[in-house]
Structure formats: C-alpha cells, structure tokens
Structure 1
Amino acid sequence: MAEREHLLIGKHEERAPWKISDVLFTYVFIFALSIFAVGILLITNIDTQTSLFPALLQVIISVATISVIYLIVTKKYNIHFFDAFGISIQKIPNALTTGIVVSIILILSTTIISYAFSEFAEVQKQNPYGNVPMEKLRIISIMAVFIAPIIEEIFFRGFMQPALVKVLGVFGGIFVTAMIFGFSHAQYLGYSTALVAVITIGLILGITRHQTGSVMPGIFAHLFNNLLAAISLLFVNAQ
C-alpha cells in the first residue's frame, strides 16, 4: 500500500520541487496585498459599488500572484513555467474536451448539493449576490469568467496542491487544497450551500489536476462553470 501511494504521489507531483513554505509565502503575500488594497479603498473612500477601481486592484493582485509563482518556479527551482503546470498549445484540444466533461460534472454536483440542502436541510435558496448592483455584478462576472479560472487553477491546483500532496498524500493534499480553496472565497462563508458547493468544486478540480498532470482542463472546466453561473446570476438579478 505504501509503495502504491508513493507511485501515485510521483505520478505528476515529481515535477513540482517547491515546498509548502513556498506556497505559504505566496499565500501570505496575497493576503497582505489584499489587506493593502482594502486599506486603499477605505482611505480613498471610493464607492466600491460603482467604481471600476476595486476591479483594477483585483487585476493587480492577480498579476502579482502569478508573478510571485513565476519567480519561485523559474528562478528558485529553474523550471520552465509552462512545463511546471502542464501548459502547452498541443494540449488544448484534449484539455478542452476534458474541461467540458468536468464542467458538466461540476454543474451536476452543485445542482445536487443545492437540491439536497433545500430538501433535507431545509435551507432556502441562497444568493450571496442578491443585493449587489447590476453594474458591479457585471464586473464580478467578467472577473469570475476570464481571470479567476486561470489564477485560481495555477495557484491552488497547480502550485499549492502538489506541495501538499507530497506531504499529506494524494487524498490529503487534494482535500486540504479544496478546503483552503473553499474558505478562501470569503463571500460564501455565511452561505452553507454555496460554501459546500465551492469545496466540492475544489475536490473535483483537484482530482482532475492530479489525473491529467495539467491545470489546463481545470481552467476550461472552471471557466465554463463560472460562465454558466454568471449568466444565471445576471438573469436572476435582472428580474
């Protein structure tokens, strides 16, 4: 059993020499940068409901996150960035096909979770964005569809998960990464259904990353899932 676990761990994570300390450094960096961004918004008293400035700050944080990961992977460990995360043009067709299949699984899973909470836990349908102005909702949707899938898959599944898998094993690494992924979505912390759904999404995307050795299928699946969610959200809030 131990030998089989070792083989599973070495399946794709052998190309990831970075350590948990590298991941922790990056996570703390993102957190500190986010706090700094919130401080700027408070000091400048910018209207976060209508201004594009918060979205701009989020883009800056996203670029900074990828930049830190890039420097750690390429400079500290001397690995080509795309190779480290299984990214290549040649993989696009297969990654797209896998991504579509996984996105269907994500949609079915979250639908079942929503149904289960409403039927068995008697939790009413929850909408964390119910009071968000339509203009801000459009900006959030654009970020969620075109930026979040790339940043989150590279950071959580591409960077964090392999480091945790090497220490905790396949199941432990994927599970802990999914939990961190879920609780990192602070907007869902007060919404049990949404939080469980996001953690489940993290588990499925984590398994996809481990089985394929690439973040590309997860990026496509994440994109399609968020696109459908954004369309649904915009439609519901427009009523």
Structure 2
Amino acid sequence: MKEAVVIKNVTKKYRMYRSKKEQITDLLIPGKAGKNFNAIEDISLTAYQGDVIGFVGINGSGKSTLSNIIGGIVPPTTGEIEKNGEVHVIAINAGLNNELTGIENIEFKGLLMGFSREKIKEVTPEIIKFSELGDFIYQPVKKYSSGMKSKLGFAISVTADPDILVIDEALSVGDQTFTNKSLDKMNEFKEEGKTIFFVSHNLGQVKSFCKKVAWIEGGRLKKFGPTEEVMSEYEDFISHYKSLSKEKQEAFRNELAERRQKSE
C-alpha cells in the first residue's frame, strides 16, 4: 500500500509571553523571558493512500496545529513530514480576504490554487451554485456570517482536485442542508481514493466518515487505529470528562497545559 503522508516525531513549539516587555527581553536575551509551549509533541503516524483519518480531542489538544502542519500552513519545529501528492486544506475562512467580495475571493483563491484565469472563469458558476449565496456573492466577505464564509470557502476549495485533503472544522457551521451536501462531496473524494484528514467535534460525522482515528490529548498522540476501536475509548473518556465538575475539568486542562510548558 502506497504511503501518502508520513509524520515522523513532529513537534511544534511556540514561545509564550505575558507582556510585550517579556517578548522584547526574550529577543534581546534569548531564554531570559517567556516559556516554550508544545502545541504538539513527538507525533508519528503514517497515512496510506485512500485512508480517511479523523482527528479527535478536546479543545486545545493540538488537532488544528497538526492539520496545519500537514497542509503546509505552518512548519514543524522538529521532526519530519513526507507528503506524496498535492495537499489542499479546507477550513473555515481559509484564505478568504474580508475586504474583497465573494466573487473577488473566488478569483483570489483560484489564483492561489494555481488556476488560470480561464479555469477560474469556467468554475465560477459552479462555485456560486454550490455556495448557495445568491446575490450575496457580490457583497464584501466582511459582511458575511460565519456560516456564509464557510459556505464560500468550502465551495471554492472543493473545485481543487488534490491527492490529499485536510478538512478542519469546515462542516461545523452553516445549515444542515449545506452540511449534508458537503458531506456528499467529501464522500465522492473518499470513493475516488483520496487521502483525507478530517478534524471535527461532531463525533457522529467522524464515526460515519472516517476509517481510522487519531486521538490527540495535550499535544500528544494518545491512540491511533481503526475508528470503532479508538472512538469507543474516546467516547468513554468524553462521557467521564463531561461528568466532572467545572473545577475538575479545569484542573485536568491545567495539568495538561503545565506538562506542555515543562516539556523540552
């Protein structure tokens, strides 16, 4: 089976500061102020051609950081990632310019994706139809609701034909009819044998759409395997987590955050 994406010991560190003064001090005397924070830490996994992999984890676990690294939006601090094919990210608002109208954003994002102006002109009617925005397509995106932005971003992105797709919460806003239509489109990609990474808090979507699941907790890969196996454990965890008091939930999150700041 052909390897599509190989992630080897990938870590992404950020520097955290409490004030501008700390940031300036750290620039002048590196290491004097601020703290390291491991958004993700020493993650390794292999996706094969045709794999559909869901990323699950509570807010702040590192799912979007990992998806952005796979998509090439941010580089890893350490580790390696090998991608055998063109990658495209489908995320809420990804690449949209708020000052441009919807129709101008179609051209803008199309050019970023490497389309010729002729190709953009050809696919524009299809994008407008899929987005369901009607005359709003001629209004500035800054006037759009989050659902409208998601519709436009998704409609533009699915016109690309990459080998590897990263879908980051792109179906989390908007009406159910559009979500169902978008899922149908994603299932078309799935049937075509594309490799897909799917980030979502909708566990039902993850269970029905994904073949495998990567559970990320506190920036680390806790479990990776077949969807049924991983989701059974993850849903037990979520059920237990939700049963905790707000104070205990906060203590759990703080413990994870403290560990991520101590990690070197």
TM-score (ref. length: structure 2): 0.24
Which structure's residues are more often strand, by fraction? 2
TM-score (ref. length: structure 1): 0.26
Which structure's residues are more often helix, by fraction? 1
